[in-house]
Chain A
Amino acid sequence: MSHPEFHYIGKAGPRKEDYRFLTGHGLYVDDIEVPGALHACFVRSPHARARIAAIDIDAAKQMPGVVSIVTGRELSAWTDKLRMAPPIEGLHPVEMTTLPVDSVRFQGDPVACIVATDRYLAEDAAEQVMVDYETLDAVTDMWQALEPNAPKVDESLASNLILHQSYVHGDPAGRKREAHRVIESTFSQNRQTHTPIETRGCIALWDEGRQHLTFHVGCQAPHPYRTQLAMRLRLPETQVTVISPDVGGGFGQKITLYREELTVAALARHLKRPVRWREDRLENLTASSHAREDFCRTRAAVDAQGRILGLEFEILEDFGAYCFYPGNYLARGVATGLTGPYKVQDYAFDVKVVLTNKVGNAPMRAPTSVTSWVMEGTMDAIARELGRDPVHVRRLNMLTAADFPYTTAAKEVLADITPRETLEAGLAAVDYAGFRTRQAEARRAGRYLGLGICVIVEPTTAGSKFYKAAGIPGSGHEAAWVRIEPSGVINASVGLGPTGQGYETAMANAVAEGLGVSPQHIRIQLGHTDVAPYGMGSRGSRGGTAGGGTLYLCALDARKKVLEIAATMLGVADFTSLRLLDGRVERREAAGEWNPTHVELTDVARIAYLDPQALPDDMSPGLEFHKTYDPPPRTYSNATHFCEVEVDAATGGIHLGRYLVAEDCGTLLSPTIVEGQQHGAIAMGLSGALFEHVEYDETGQNLSGSFADYLIATAHELPSFEILSMHTPNRSTPLGLKGMAEGGVMGAIGAITGAVNDALAPFAVVANRHPLTPMYIRELLRGKT
């Protein structure tokens, strides 16, 4: 699709949603006043693995303000289990009750829920619930999980290996035999957690007269969430409304229905009173969802130049104790996306995912974040081992414009991406040769500079074909409606969740472009399942292409009808000689120029609603439009990240210098929003690689239960970011959209690690695990400085 001229999208400018956030008038779940609401608090297991022998609630029930106390046993009667059993090769089916009934599986597992008249009283009572646990040995690391005699996290399974898949394309074993060298590299990614600054929380209101549940919850995917909630409560979907108000960040943590939320909903229905819950930070860090923690190994068969002849990849992921998502969800994506921008056809992978006695995993911004670090780390290892320049090795292996569309060894089709272009532009921008000179001078002075390069291919929007091919039930389509009101202003909605990415701004631009009306007259309504159409929500960098694309197509339908009506009003035979711009109908003259007419959108809207007899024959009244759109199987963005660091060899401290990214993420709905997503994603990647670490001891006690232990990068540690925009359109999506917002994490993880290893090169050591703490760097350098 070619769109040489845009009128509304692609222009930088401030956001529509800011005023309420800046003035303290945002409405997050916990800001919603509900008269008479009761407060829930959860009693949580202090043990990583134990049998629940008995729960004594008598003392707690006598505490002031307590209204009700329930355990997994009551909840099992009121709700259905979650059965996670998609027909995926190598994946074992599992089930999960609403709260544990017989045993607990991690420290923080909820075993009872107190409902009281206020939160302080509920917490007082929670301390009085006496649970008799028979403690058991826990599985606290993924290697232990694989041992033959390891305790079983889920007794219904034969072992802790919840998923095992392998795949071969071409003849990687043969390539190894022919190779000049086989270069092996390993990568250990640390366990992390999403930590939106707004923790989880919800409010359940049960309407006994209508037998209807209204559920307020900060949510990335309100409609699929409602489907899950209704099913688990055994209610028809007509009797559940999910309202996601302003959301203080999601990052993947606010997609699925959690056990605490289902408990609160069931209790409101049971008690016939409103019940609310707000998670505290301790719970958020130790009992919501975790992410990452994997071990990866590559074996690259290379020729003497550094060309990859064949590649083998292994990944082992620690999925935690419960499957809120299918076990293949994250690790398989790393394996299928690994080769990224490189030409590798002889490829094999082996994916293992194990259960352990830790919080269950969820996708976290760039669920396959480790991908680019592994591939680029492999490139750097090849360069290091063969004594070649890392840029040379990348150039030698990289796909170029002539190669696209390119079917990868994992059978994904890469098209409309520009990895080589972003690499070359970025190298020029950071003055690569100049850096090497500076680096050499600094080394002579005893200072250790490093430059990391990370070329990424970011898988973005997935269409229904992708889901079908991956064997995952579900779809990647999206839905939208647009309604031009009788006064000519526009309401529009799409099935995304409002998790803080500026959708009210970017989506208004998409409608504006399709319709021909300034975005200031367009209001985007999100997150209310009675208002929004059934869409798949905000996740996987799909908002722009799936959400914006659907709204744009829907607005095109609206514009067509508006122009057909205008043509009748103007006595013009062919509506295609008209256009709408800034709400005014214009006519193309013979010479091709556009001239205004006396007809405006407000005139058309008035007739459509208030004088339908004046409409063209057979045209239905009103201006309401609905559209669904299924994107291509997969879209991709790409970028090259450059990170400069100085490592203090004496302390192991890493000082971040220049950070630059050259990025191609297609047509932009709003450059302002895209830039903000680039910054935020890079920051999350750097923070995760340098500081963040969920730590369990050998008994399964979580040692990172506060922000003083689980460290998130502050403004003091992070650099400024430079962005080179090199956007080219995707030719198979509306407007040329590609999607973005997760690649920054992938790029940052790879670039920072590459930079540190480049700095450490004189010591002949390689950092291959995260976080890159000063202690770890010193451990590598000990005896070498």
Chain B
Amino acid sequence: MNKVALTLRVNGVSHDLLIEPRKLLSDAVREDCRLTGTHVGCEHGVCGACTVLVDGRPVRACLCFAVQMAGHEITTIEAVAQDGQLSPVQQALHEEHGLQCGFCTPGIVMTFEAFLKENPNPSEEQIRDALSGNLCRCTGYHNIVAAIKKAATQMQESAGYVAP
């Protein structure tokens, strides 16, 4: 199959790639951009492990081709912590034991980095609903839900929000 040239913007860095048009975004990010934090769990859009942000919105990287991403800004798990400092979502997952084997974790972090921006004060039901797009085989989700609640509270507090 003929390869095509593509500039892929990932985490603010431009990658000039020569890849087959059929190459999945998940594979391009992992193999060509060498960002292996985005994991591939099913390659059919159910498990959510490969979730990345495209222009700030969560997208399953296994369900799109890299060539579709020209002109878009992709954010992966590697860009979430700044200078070794965990984000509130990451920090809360750490404190609440919201991860075990860690394989699904990057997808969950990316899902909720976006979700909490749109839903700063979610109910448990809303959290469980959003989390239902990510499969985790280790935790039973209980501690992930607790972590997201905690992260939401902390983000609101640090934004100066006072609960009514």
Report yes or no: A716 in contact with B129, Cβ–Cβ below 8 A: yes
Interface residue ranges of B50-75 to A (CB < 8 Å): none
Check: A208 CB closer than 8 A to any chain B CB: no
Question: Given the complex, which residues of A lie within 8 Å of B30, measured CB to CB?
Answer: 30-31
Question: Given the complex, which residues of A lie within 8 Å of B106, measured CB to CB?
Answer: 24
Question: Given the complex, which residues of B lie within 8 Å of A717, measured CB to CB?
Answer: 132
Report yes or no: A718 in contact with B94, Cβ–Cβ below 8 A: no
Which chain A residue lies CB-closest to B20? A120
Report yes or no: A720 in contact with B46, Cβ–Cβ below 8 A: no
Contact of B141 among A20, A502, A683, A707 (CB under 8 A): A683
Check: B15 CB closer than 8 A to any chain A CB: no
Check: B144 CB closer than 8 A to any chain A CB: yes
Question: Given the complex, which residues of B lie within 8 Å of A246, measured CB to CB?
Answer: 101-102
Interface residue ranges of B32-52 to A (CB < 8 Å): 34-44, 46-47, 49
Bound state CA distance, A680 and B129, in angstroms? 19
Report yes or no: B100 in contact with A680, Cβ–Cβ below 8 A: yes
How many residue pairs at the A-B interface have CB separations less than 8 Å? 176
Nearest CB of chain A from residue B39's CB, rounded to whole Å: 7
Report yes or no: B99 in contact with A715, Cβ–Cβ below 8 A: no
Q: Which of B80, B99, B138, B143 has the most CB of A within 10 A?
A: B138
- How many chain A residues touch B (Cβ–Cβ < 8 Å)? 55
Check: B6 CB closer than 8 A to any chain A CB: no
Contact of B77 among A23, A195, A198 (CB under 8 A): A23
Report yes or no: A251 in contact with B132, Cβ–Cβ below 8 A: no
Is chain A's binding surface mostly helix, strand, loop or mixed? loop
Contact of A683 among B41, B80, B139 (CB under 8 A): B139
Question: Given the complex, which residues of A lie within 8 Å of B133, measured CB to CB?
Answer: 714
Contact of A247 among B35, B80, B99, B101 (CB under 8 A): B101
Check: B151 CB closer than 8 A to any chain A CB: no
Bound state CA distance, A676 and B139, in angstroms? 6
Bound state CA distance, A721 and B134, in angstroms? 19
Bound state CA distance, A707 and B41, in angstroms? 10
Nearest CB of chain B from residue A236's CB, rounded to whole Å: 33
Bound state CA distance, A41 and B12, in angstroms? 35
1/0 per residue B96-127: CB within 8 Å of A?
01011111111001000000000000000001
Contact of A676 among B23, B90, B97, B129 (CB under 8 A): B97
Interface residue ranges of A719-763 to B (CB < 8 Å): 720-721
1/0 per residue A330-361: CB within 8 Å of B?
00000000000000000000000000000000
Given contacts A197-B135, A672-B97, A715-B145, contact A682 B103 (CB under 8 A): no
Given contacts A249-B137, A679-B140, A714-B135, contact A500 B102 (CB under 8 A): yes
Is chain B's binding surface mostly helix, strand, loop or mixed? loop
Report yes or no: A23 in contact with B81, Cβ–Cβ below 8 A: yes
Report yes or no: A197 in contact with B100, Cβ–Cβ below 8 A: no
Nearest CB of chain A from residue B105's CB, rounded to whole Å: 5
Report yes or no: B103 in contact with A197, Cβ–Cβ below 8 A: yes
Report yes or no: A15 in contact with B97, Cβ–Cβ below 8 A: yes
Question: Given the complex, which residues of A lie within 8 Å of B90, measured CB to CB?
Answer: 22-23
Report yes or no: A707 in contact with B97, Cβ–Cβ below 8 A: no
Q: Which of B23, B104, B134 has the most CB of A within 10 A?
A: B104
Given contacts A714-B135, A721-B140, contact A24 B49 (CB under 8 A): no
Question: Given the complex, which residues of A lie within 8 Å of B131, measured CB to CB?
Answer: 714-716
Contact of B102 among A248, A681, A718 (CB under 8 A): A248
Check: A281 CB closer than 8 A to any chain B CB: yes
Bound state CA distance, A18 and B109, in angstroms? 13
Question: Given the complex, which residues of A lie within 8 Å of B101, measured CB to CB?
Answer: 21, 196-198, 246-249, 499-501
Check: B16 CB closer than 8 A to any chain A CB: no
Question: Given the complex, which residues of A lie within 8 Å of B105, measured CB to CB?
Answer: 21-22
Contact of B103 among A249, A672, A683, A712 (CB under 8 A): A249
Question: Given the complex, which residues of A lie within 8 Å of B95, measured CB to CB?
Answer: 14
Bound state CA distance, A721 and B37, in angstroms? 30
Interface residue ranges of A1-60 to B (CB < 8 Å): 14-15, 17-28, 30-31, 33
Nearest CB of chain A from residue B12's CB, rounded to whole Å: 15
Question: Given the complex, which residues of B lie within 8 Å of A18, measured CB to CB?
Answer: 93-94, 99, 102
User: Size class of B's contact patch?
Assistant: 35 or more
Contact of A24 among B42, B78, B137, B138 (CB under 8 A): B78
Q: Which of B34, B93, B101, B135 has the most CB of A within 10 A?
A: B101
Bound state CA distance, A21 and B40, in angstroms? 14
Nearest CB of chain B from residue A280's CB, rounded to whole Å: 6
Report yes or no: B144 in contact with A22, Cβ–Cβ below 8 A: no
Bound state CA distance, A249 and B94, in angstroms? 18
Contact of B132 among A21, A708, A714 (CB under 8 A): A714
Question: Given the complex, which residues of A lie within 8 Å of B47, measured CB to CB?
Answer: 197, 281, 707
Bound state CA distance, A30 and B34, in angstroms? 12
Report yes or no: B46 in contact with A715, Cβ–Cβ below 8 A: no
Check: A421 CB closer than 8 A to any chain B CB: no
Question: Given the complex, which residues of B lie within 8 Å of A196, measured CB to CB?
Answer: 101, 103, 137
Report yes or no: B97 in contact with A14, Cβ–Cβ below 8 A: yes
Question: Given the complex, which residues of B lie within 8 Å of A23, measured CB to CB?
Answer: 37, 77-78, 80-81, 86, 90
Question: Given the complex, which residues of A lie within 8 Å of B137, measured CB to CB?
Answer: 195-197, 249, 251, 680, 684, 712
Bound state CA distance, A571 and B81, in angstroms? 51
Report yes or no: A715 in contact with B81, Cβ–Cβ below 8 A: no
Report yes or no: A30 in contact with B145, Cβ–Cβ below 8 A: no
Contact of A197 among B1, B43, B104, B132 (CB under 8 A): B104
Bound state CA distance, A75 and B121, in angstroms? 59
Bound state CA distance, A251 and B37, in angstroms? 22
Report yes or no: B142 in contact with A198, Cβ–Cβ below 8 A: no
Check: A706 CB closer than 8 A to any chain B CB: yes
Question: Given the complex, which residues of B lie within 8 Å of A27, measured CB to CB?
Answer: 36
Bound state CA distance, A120 and B140, in angstroms? 34
Check: B8 CB closer than 8 A to any chain A CB: no
Bound state CA distance, A522 and B152, in angstroms? 33
Report yes or no: A22 in contact with B109, Cβ–Cβ below 8 A: yes
Report yes or no: A25 in contact with B144, Cβ–Cβ below 8 A: no
Q: Which of B36, B43, B93 has the most CB of A within 10 A?
A: B36
Check: A675 CB closer than 8 A to any chain B CB: yes
Nearest CB of chain A from residue B24's CB, rounded to whole Å: 9
Report yes or no: B102 in contact with A17, Cβ–Cβ below 8 A: yes
Which chain B residue lies CB-closest to A26? B102
Interface residue ranges of A368-404 to B (CB < 8 Å): none
Q: Which of A18, A198, A708 has the most CB of B within 10 A?
A: A18
8 residue pairs bridging A and B, Cβ less than 8 Å apart: A27-B36, A28-B39, A33-B34, A197-B135, A249-B138, A281-B47, A676-B97, A684-B137
List chain B positions with a Cβ less than 8 A from chain A. 1, 20, 22-23, 30, 34-44, 46-47, 49, 76-78, 80-81, 86, 90, 93-95, 97, 99-106, 109, 127-129, 131-145
